[in-house]
């Protein structure tokens, strides 16, 4: 199809249409809430009637035109989101009609219904950007409705985001006409950028020049991605103002796009400096809070060790082993942190036990054992009001439970026991057996591991024991015999 033919066909009502088009174009760029609309153009009345019946329950407004001229007349007075035209029409083919739609209303989605004989011409129209898609006739109503709903969903998403952003007077807005290079902006942009009103030599590179060199790649990548994919981009970067000060800017980019061609880009920006400064301050305070929590946990752990100097370092070693076992078992970072804290505090309840019992070199009496067995509950009571990120107090309460129900204080079994508590149980027994105690010398690594393996699946979770074996095979230096 020659350009002269396009021009000839495009002259239908063109004088009247150009003015009406100008009146409507603002709606293409400043969407308002309204019912979405699809225009069907076909010279066969029976086809239009069939479409009307087949799509009567569709949740969008439907308009019908029996000729290309009637379709253009409707478009001049009505906002339409999608035009669906039959390719085989007298006077003007569907492709020619959609070429004119493309010239007058470039934001409208354009689909053509085509028979086999005209596919080549339609493909040529797609490649030239005149239409977005063709559907082969006959097309069933379900397929057509699915295609239309997909396009309408995309349009609705873009309109909603644009409307929310553009209506805020506190935001800066810039527009870049990619075809002719024109770069314009609003008063909000001038206020954010400290540009003088009616600044001469408006150019996108003038804006680029204000961006921190370290951040320009972020801006360039976002523009490139938005331009080539048509997808929204949101990002932040720093700018240098004329007075030498630094500001943080957050931008959202969008484009007007036809087929594979992007013809305009819009940027919506806000000054995020105060927000970024608050984020930095919050991060600093969170770091201090985390450090305070960590030091508090360490202080609590040391209180236990002061009462029982023979176990100095025991809770820290159990915490290290527990964390590594948890990693092998695939615990999430937050659970690993909770596991480590619980392991560091698992014996905090022993602070209520007289030191002469904790350091007694001989066999404990039944009343003394009963007192020892209360330390998980005492530990729970000490820390249960502390707002840890994980249920640390419950883990401490359960760390002496055993999967066969023989543990204490509640005789829980199998999965009634939290995984973190089952992990600490293995690490605790191994560390205690392999290290020196007042009533015996340390038994060493091999004996302690053998004991765990012999009770694997009986009192200790088999998966946890196997994970511990894997840990020792991968990192044998993680444990050291303390037999003195």
Q: What is the CATH number for 245?
A: 3.30.450.20
Q: Residues 262, 302: one domain?
A: no
- 286 compared with 45, residue with greater pLDDT: 45
Q: Does residue 233 have a pLDDT over 60?
A: yes
- Report residue 324 CA to chain centroid gap: 29
Q: Return phi, psi of residue 437, to 5°.
A: -130, 160
pLDDT in tens, 68-77: 999 999 999 8
Q: Cα–Cα distance between 432 and 11 in angstroms, integer? A: 93
* 466 DSSP 8-state letter: H
Q: Does residue 25 have a pLDDT over 90?
A: no
Q: Residues 32, 129: one domain?
A: yes
Query: Given the structure tokens 């689909």, which residue do they identify?
Result: 111
pLDDT in tens, 433-465: 887 565 556 577 888 899 999 999 999 999 999
Q: Residues 336, 420: one domain?
A: yes
- Region 353-378: mean pLDDT is 87
What CATH number has the domain bearing residue 7?
3.40.50.2300
What pLDDT is attached to residue 15? 45
Q: Does residue 432 have a pLDDT over 80?
A: yes
Per the structure, the complete domain to which residue 412 belongs is given by 294-478
What CATH number has the domain bearing residue 396?
1.10.3210.10
Instruction: Report the percentage of the chain scoring pLDDT > 90.
Output: 32
> Is residue 342 classed as helix, strand or coil in its secondary structure?
helix
CA distances for 450 relative to 3, 66, 447, angstroms: 88, 88, 5
What pLDDT is attached to residue 88? 87
- Region 251-278: mean pLDDT is 80
Q: Residues 345, 303: one domain?
A: yes
> Number of structural domains, the chain?
3
Q: Does residue 359 have a pLDDT over 50?
A: yes
- Residue 60's nearest CA partner among 136, 179, 156 is 156
Q: Does residue 12 have a pLDDT over 70?
A: no
- Examine the fold and report which residue of 132, 165, 198 is the final residue of a domain before the chain moves on: 165
Dihedral angle, C-alpha 312, 314, 317, 323, nearest 10 °: -130
Q: What is the mean pLDDT of the chain?
A: 82
- Region 359-367: mean pLDDT is 83
Q: Does residue 30 have a pLDDT over 80?
A: no
Q: Does residue 112 have a pLDDT over 60?
A: yes
> Is residue 386 classed as helix, strand or coil in its secondary structure?
coil
What pLDDT is attached to residue 122? 59
Q: Does residue 230 have a pLDDT over 50?
A: yes
Residue 285 domain flag: no
Q: Residues 363, 256: one domain?
A: no
Q: Residues 143, 186: one domain?
A: no
Q: Residues 330, 439: one domain?
A: yes
Contacts of 141 (CB under 8 A, 6+ apart): 51, 54, 55
Residue 74 burial (CB count, 10 A)? 17
* 66 DSSP 8-state letter: S
pLDDT in tens, 379-429: 999 999 888 878 999 999 999 999 999 999 999 999 999 999 999 999 999
Q: Residues 216, 96: one domain?
A: no
CB distance 396 to 376 below 8 Å: yes
Q: Residues 230, 321: one domain?
A: no
Token duo for residue 85: 């035209």
- Region 294-316: mean pLDDT is 78
Q: Cα–Cα distance between 193 and 206 in angstroms, integer? A: 11
What pLDDT is attached to residue 191? 85
Residue 213 burial (CB count, 10 A)? 8
Q: Cα–Cα distance between 209 and 193 in angstroms, integer? A: 11
Q: Cα–Cα distance between 95 and 268 in angstroms, integer? A: 35
Query: Given the structure tokens 């408006």, which residue do they identify?
Result: 202
What pLDDT is attached to residue 319? 93
DSSP string, 314-382: HHHHHHHHHHHHHHHTT--HHHHHHHHHHHHTTTGGGGGS-HHHHT--SPPPHHHHHHHTTHHHHHHHH
Q: Residues 401, 299: one domain?
A: yes
Residue 281 domain flag: no
Q: Does residue 345 have a pLDDT over 70?
A: yes
Please return the burial class of 244, using the count of CB atoms within 10 Å of its CB with bins 0-12, 13-18 and 19+.
Answer: exposed
First to last CA, the chain: 96
- 418 compared with 190, residue with greater pLDDT: 418
- Examine the fold and report which residue of 104, 131, 165 is the final residue of a domain before the chain moves on: 165
Residue 33: band (very low, low, confident or very high) from pLDDT cuts 50, 70, 90: very low
- 101 compared with 26, residue with greater pLDDT: 101
pLDDT in tens, 47-84: 999 999 999 888 899 999 999 999 999 999 888 999 99
Residue 289 domain flag: no
Largest CA distance in the chain: 110
Q: Does residue 334 have a pLDDT over 60?
A: yes
- Residue 398's nearest CA partner among 381, 378, 412 is 412
β-pairing, 109-114 with 233-240?
A: unpaired
Q: Residues 243, 378: one domain?
A: no
């Amino acid at each position: 199809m020659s350009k002269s033919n396009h021009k000839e066909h495009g002259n239908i009502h063109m004088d009247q249409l150009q003015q009406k088009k100008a009146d409507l174009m603002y709606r293409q760029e400043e969407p308002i809430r309204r019912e979405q609309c699809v225009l069907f153009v076909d010279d066969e009345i029976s086809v239009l009637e069939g479409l009307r019946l087949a799509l009567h329950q569709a949740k969008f407004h439907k308009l019908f035109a029996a000729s290309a001229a009637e379709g253009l007349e409707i478009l001049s007075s009505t906002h339409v989101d999608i035009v669906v035209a039959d390719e085989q029409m007298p006077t003007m083919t569907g492709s020619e009609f959609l070429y004119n739609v493309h010239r007058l209303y470039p934001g409208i989605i354009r689909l053509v219904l085509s028979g086999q004989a005209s596919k080549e011409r339609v493909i040529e129209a797609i490649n030239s950007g005149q239409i977005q898609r063709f559907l082969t006739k006959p097309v069933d109503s379900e397929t057509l409705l699915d295609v239309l709903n997909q396009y309408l969903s995309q349009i609705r998403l873009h309109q909603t985001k644009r409307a929310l952003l553009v209506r805020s007077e506190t935001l800066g807005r810039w527009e870049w006409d990619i075809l002719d290079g024109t770069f314009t902006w609003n008063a909000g942009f001038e206020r954010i950028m400290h540009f003088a009103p009616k600044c001469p030599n408006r150019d996108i590179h003038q804006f680029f020049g204000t961006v921190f060199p370290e951040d320009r790649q972020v801006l360039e990548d976002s523009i490139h991605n938005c331009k080539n994919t048509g997808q929204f981009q949101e990002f932040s970067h720093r700018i240098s103002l004329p007075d030498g000060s630094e500001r943080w800017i957050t931008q959202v980019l969008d484009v007007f796009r036809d087929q594979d061609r992007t013809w305009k880009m819009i940027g919506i920006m806000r000054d995020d400096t105060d927000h970024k400064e608050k984020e930095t301050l919050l991060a600093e305070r969170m770091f201090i809070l985390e450090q305070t929590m960590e030091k508090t946990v360490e202080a609590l752990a040391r209180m236990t060790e002061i009462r029982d100097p023979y176990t100095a370092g025991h809770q820290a070693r159990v915490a290290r082993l527990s964390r590594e076992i948890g990693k092998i078992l695939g615990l999430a970072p937050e659970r690993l942190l909770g596991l480590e804290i619980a392991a560091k505090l698992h014996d905090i309840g022993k602070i209520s036990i007289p030191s002469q019992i904790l350091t007694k070199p001989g066999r404990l009496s039944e009343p003394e054992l009963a007192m020892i067995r209360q330390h998980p509950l005492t530990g729970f009571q000490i820390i249960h009001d502390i707002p840890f990120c994980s249920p640390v107090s419950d883990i401490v309460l359960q760390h002496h439970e055993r999967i066969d129900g023989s543990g204490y204080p509640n005789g829980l079994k199998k999965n009634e026991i939290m995984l973190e508590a089952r992990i600490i149980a293995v690490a605790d027994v191994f560390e205690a057996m392999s290290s020196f105690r007042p009533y015996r010398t340390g038994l060493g690594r091999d004996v302690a591991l053998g004991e765990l393996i012999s009770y694997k699946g009986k009192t200790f979770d088999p998966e946890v024991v196997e994970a511990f074996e894997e840990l020792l095979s991968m990192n044998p230096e993680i444990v050291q015999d303390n037999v003195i």
